[in-house]
Each structure stands twice: as structure tokens, then as C-alpha cells.
Amino acid sequence: MTIQQMQDKLGELNESSVAIVQTSDDDSRALNDDELALVASNTKEFDDLKLDIERRESIEAQTAHLNASKGRKTTPSGPTITTDAGTLSVTDGGGEARVQVQVQQASMRDTARWGWRSLGEQAKAIREASRPGGSVDIRLEQRDAPTTFGVSNVGADGGFAIAPDFRNSINQIIEAEDSLFAMADVLTTTSNSITIPMDDTTPWQTTGGILANWEGEANQLTQTKPNLTQQTIRLNRLSCLVPVTEELMEDSAALSSWLSKKAPEKLQFAVNLAIIQGSGAGQPLGILNSNCLVSVVKDTNQDADTVTMPNILGMHMRMYAPARRDAVWFINQDIERQLNSMGFEWVHQSSDGTTGTASTPVYLPPGGVSQAPFGTLMGRPIFPTQACETLGDQGDIIFASMKQYLGVTKGGGVRQEVSVHLWFDYNMAAFRFDLRIGGQPWWGNTVAARDGTTTYSPFVTLDARG
């Protein structure tokens, strides 16, 4: 290998070790034996290469010194190009220096990006390479492309992988604070499905599963056994295809900024919508389509497209009590007007014995509309989202404990589950973002109260009020 190739290898070894440590940090665990062995191997090879580079640079320096002191004894030939300690020199056949240029070695970060300054710069080069007769930047040929796509309309075949440093800048936004998936109980798997043993029994049921029995002295204890079921979650592929126009290609900075913002927005909303309304066929099973959903009936003679205080009280009552501590409200933004004007009606008696009714604001702070709402309802946070249905339809307001929603990602989380490739069609570049996720409520059905006919759930909504 040349010195430059060795320098590149140093960068690759360092990237490998950093990635291993990062994976263990993300999983909040120590390095396992295999990872320790690989890091140790990388470190040894790094040190050996570093010594080899120093020896070669020393030999080159010695050779340069001898040539300078004794001069050239062979027949002069054409120009010669040499590199020494970061300087590129061009000499003529007689050894006379023609040009000397300082060459800045690529940093470890540049090596991780394969020499690209931004995703936009790389995409612009790929756009040029896809044109008939277009020039191919040498940086596109430094790594083998994982996938090759044939483009019939432009008459060129080729595929170029996006440099790894750019992948994280796009993927990390997917699990932002307003992501419903980030609120769920997220598990990871290395396969395309995961099967989990489930206990659907309640603490108060008297048959089936493990039971507690009062026993008399010296009596034989009553035997009980677990009653477990299985729940299988299959991961589904979510893809986002981002077309890139020629105008965007002309401005690499704008392209990089746009891709890093737009693609995650599309992916994130698709996941949010699936968590709320997903059919479970080729996508996660949504809250509104699950068997454990409780839908509270509307008030008698309730006006269309309204939300009332009795609605809210009814939803809160049907939420399984232990799940209330981390439950949140998801609402369509159109409902905010209903909440801001909602009052709690109560009866009062004056000193003269007469009675009357009064109303206390439910959602507004003491300062009224002159101040911002608290952002909570019945003590729990409110999250407006377009994934909820419009005002008056079932699903316009949902009271949900997201810790009771199981989300599954493949290979360590959503951030690592994006497979990014570039391909070309009709002289246009296109970026595809893929991730594998699955999800459904932990609960298979609602649970009945110990006494009475009321059912409870960690997912509660309202019947339609059309």
C-alpha cells in the first residue's frame, strides 16, 4: 500500500472502533467479548500501520536527501511527481523543481464522509455523473456501491452509496420530541418479527392464571399455573422517495438542508398516522383499529362537532387507573377552540336560600384568554396532531397511555434502520429512505371491572358526534 492508502486505512479502522463503542453506548451496556476483541484488533492494526507510515516517510526523506546531495546520475526522463510530508512536487527530467503544492491530508471526519463536504455536494456530483457523457468525480469510485440501478432513459448504469456521515444527519430527526413512536414502549430486534409471551389476566379475576387463595391452617395449598398467550409483531417497511429537481441540484447547500428536513418529516408523520389509524396490514396496528379501544358514547342530545366536559370526564373514567399516570391527550387542532371555551357547570346556593348554576373554566388559566392555556387536561399533557380525525369524528380526541403501545425497530432503533441509496430516472436524482418498524397495543382486549359491566383500557376515544 502507498502512504495515502495507509492513511485511509487508519481512518477506516478508527471509524470501525468508534461505531462499536457508539453501539454499546446507545444500548447502555458494556462492550461484549466479540466487540472487545475487534476493538483490540483494530487498535493493533492501527498502531502497526502508523509505525509503517513513519518508516516509509523516513525512507522517503532519506531518499530525497541522497538525491539532493549527489544529483541525478541516470539519463534524464520526463517530469516526476512525488509527495513528501504533505508537499506535492513536480520535477523535470533534470531534477529541477517545477511546482510545489502543499497538500492537506484528509481528516478522520473527511475520511468518514469519503471526502464529501455535504450531502448536497455528493448528490450534485452524482447528478453530473448520471448525464450522458458527464464526468465522474473520483470520490464516487472510492467505495463499492451496495446496489446498482439501471437507468434506461439516460443510457447509463450505476449506483453510488451515500457517505456514512450523512446518514446520521438525516435519520436522527425521525425520533424527535413530537414523534408518537418515541413515546411508545420501543423494543429492538435483529429479525423481521418478534414473538413475546403475554399475560392477559387481571389481578382480580378468580379463574385462569395464577390465583391467590386464603388457606386454612394445615390445609393443602391450592395449585394454580400461569395462563400465557403469544403475541407476534411483524416489522413493516416504510419508504420515502424524495425527488430532486435540477434547480435544487445547482445549490448543494440548499439541497442538503432540504433533504435533511423534508424526508424525516414525511417519515415521521407516516409513523404517527399509523400509530393512530394504522390498519395492521403492511403497517403497524393503530389505536383506533385495535380490539382494546374504548369509545365513550356522546351525551344525550349533544350538538354535532362538539366536545363537552361530560365527554372528558367519561374518557378519564374509562382509562384504566394505573395507566393514567403516564397517559396523554392526542387531539386534532380544531378541538382547541372547544377546550378553550369549555366550562364545568356546578350548582350553588346563595345566602337567601335560592339556588343557581355557575361555570368554571376547565382549560384556561386564572388569567383567562389573556394568558396561554396550561397545555394540560385533567392533569395530563395535550399533544395536537394531524394524525387525529377532524372535530366530531371518532378519533378527534384520544386519551392514551403510550407505554402500553409496543413499537419494534430492527437492528438497534429507527436511526440505524435507514437504508439509503441513490438511483436515477429521466435525468433526475432520487433519494429513497427506508426503515423497518412494527407496532400494536400491548393489550389484546379491554378489561372488565371486578364488579359491574364497565370496561377499561389504556386507549380511550369518543364516539362520533356528527
- Tell whether the model's pLDDT for residue 411 goes beyond 90: no
- pLDDT tens for 282-307 read 999 999 999 999 999 999 999 999 99
Q: Pinpoint the alpha helices (H) of 156-251.
A: 164-171, 180-183, 246-249
DSSP per residue, 246-273:
HHHHT-HHHHHHHHHHHHHHHHHHHHHH
Can you tell me the distance from the alpha carbon of 141 to that of 161, in angstroms, rounded to the nearest whole number? 10
* Torsional sign, CA 181, 186, 189, 193: negative
Q: Pinpoint the alpha helices (H) of 114-159.
A: 119-130
pLDDT given at position 173 = 44
| DSSP label at residue 335 | G
Largest distance between two CA atoms of the chain: 124
Set of cell numbers at residue 61: 526523506
Span 52-60, mean pLDDT? 86
The model's pTM: 0.59
Q: Pinpoint the alpha helices (H) of 173-281.
A: 180-183, 246-249, 252-277
Three-state DSSP state, 70: helix
pLDDT given at position 68 = 67
- Tell whether the model's pLDDT for residue 118 goes beyond 80: no
Three-state DSSP state, 398: strand
Single-letter amino acid code for the residue at 390: T
Q: Which stretches does DSSP call E strand in 394-427?
A: 397-400, 405-410, 421-425
Three-state DSSP state, 417: coil
Can you tell me the distance from the alpha carbon of 442 to that of 180, in angstroms, rounded to the nearest whole number? 15
Set of cell numbers at residue 385: 396532531
Span 224-236, mean pLDDT? 81
Set of cell numbers at residue 263: 424526508
Q: Which residues of 1-24 are buried (b: 16+ CB within 10 A; e: fewer)?
A: eebeeebbbbbebbbbbeebeeee
* Torsional sign, CA 185, 188, 192, 198: negative
Q: What is the dihedral of CA 16, 17, 18, 24, to 10 degrees?
A: 110
CA-nearest of 93, 84, 62 to 2 is 84
- Tell whether the model's pLDDT for residue 125 goes beyond 90: no
More confident call, 174 vs 324 = 324
- pLDDT tens for 139-185 read 776 554 444 443 333 333 334 555 555 554 444 444 454 788 889 98
In degrees, to the nearest 5, what angle opens at C-alpha 396 toward C-alphas 292 and 413?
Answer: 60
More confident call, 201 vs 276 = 276
Task: Please check whether residue 236 is in contact with residue 282, taking contact to mean a CB–CB distance below 8 angstroms.
Answer: yes
Contacts of 71 (CB under 8 A, 6+ apart): 95
- pLDDT tens for 397-407 read 999 999 999 99
Can you tell me the distance from the alpha carbon of 202 to that of 205, in angstroms, rounded to the nearest whole number? 6
Confidence of residue 354 (pLDDT cuts 50, 70, 90): confident
Quick count: other Cβ atoms within 10 Å of Cβ 428?
16
Can you tell me the distance from the alpha carbon of 175 to that of 186, in angstroms, rounded to the nearest whole number? 11
